[in-house]
Chains A and B, each alone.
Chain A
Amino acid sequence: MSDELPLELRRLDVEAADLDGHSLEELGDYLDRDRTPVDPSIEASAGCQLVLQAMTRLRATTRALIDADIAAAPAPSESWVQQILTRIALDARAGRRIPFVHPSPTADLAITEGAVRGLIRAAELDVHGVLIGRCRLDGDLATPGAPVRVSVEASVLWGERVPTVADRLRAAIRERLVAHTDLDVQGIDVTIRDVHRLAGTPEEDRS
Chain B
Amino acid sequence: MNFLALTTSTADWSAAAGVTLFYLFAALSVVSALSVAVSKNIVRAAVGLLMSLLGVAGLYFLLHAEFLAAVQLVVYAGGTLILIVFGIMLTSKSPFSHYEPKTREVVIAIGVGMVLLAAIVGAILSGPFAVVGVETEGYPITQLGQALLGDYLVPFELASVLLLAVMIGAAYLAKSRRRES
* Binding partners A and B: no
Please report B residues at the A interface, Cβ cutoff 8 Å: none
